[in-house]
Structure 1
């Protein structure tokens, strides 16, 4: 199958919590991420076409934890096979330049599992 996404995505097999910064509650974890969006494995309901302020952390090449804050738009959601979970595709609307550069480097790092 040919891949038609515009941005390279990194699969995230280890748990990376995603926090809704408006409620300060964890709403799920990263499934995969690119510099322009993410797949959220949601443990809390998300609103279709909703807007969210989210934060998650990645580690840079030196092992330092880098917070990534984004404004995101829910493009789609679907129920998962696991009760209480769903999947949601989000497009990033806002992200500051420094975290964007760190995210871009992390997604494109050698050895990263990509899709």
Structure 2
């Protein structure tokens, strides 16, 4: 079954940790993000068709940690190219504004911006 992606995804070259919101235990790392979903890279396979409560802990400019809480459903899970790791795809339920800002910030940070020259 071929599924065409309609939402642009942004690959992350540096990974951000993802935690279980209720237990605060690490679940894995962000692999990529989109407005409606994310890919998690973990050391254990995750249950497909299950809902998860996720938390991203982002470094703030003032040294404080900012939490972004997400409710997501795991749509698929498969072995990663790296041995002993798994990739899992999630759809997000009503992603908060902080998550959408994160996507924008990551896109800006990892994108090439040509220098502007004055005429």
RMSD: 2.5
Per-residue deviation, residues 35-69 of structure 1 (Å, max 9, x unmatched)? 21111111233101110011113468x68754321
Aligned partners of 1:31 and 1:38 also within 8 Å: yes
Aligned partners of 1:45 and 1:86 also within 8 Å: yes
TM-score, normalised relative to structure 2: 0.73
TM-score, normalised relative to structure 1: 0.75
With CA pairs under 8 Å and 6+ residues apart, which has the higher RCO, 1 or 2?
1
| Gap regions ≥5 residues in structure 1 | none
The 5 A counterparts of 1:54-73 are 54-58=54-58, 66-73=66-73
The 5 A counterparts of 1:1-115 are 4-58=4-58, 66-96=66-96, 98-109=97-108, 111-112=110-111
Tell me how far apart the structure 1 counterparts of residues 24 and 57 of structure 2 sit (CA, whole Å): 14
Relative to 1, partners in 2 of residues 1:24 and 1:58: Cα closer, same or farther, differing over 3 Å?
closer
Aligned partners of 2:50 and 2:73 also within 8 Å: yes
Considering only CA atoms, is the larger Rg found in Structure 1 or Structure 2?
A: 2
Q: How many residues align?
A: 108
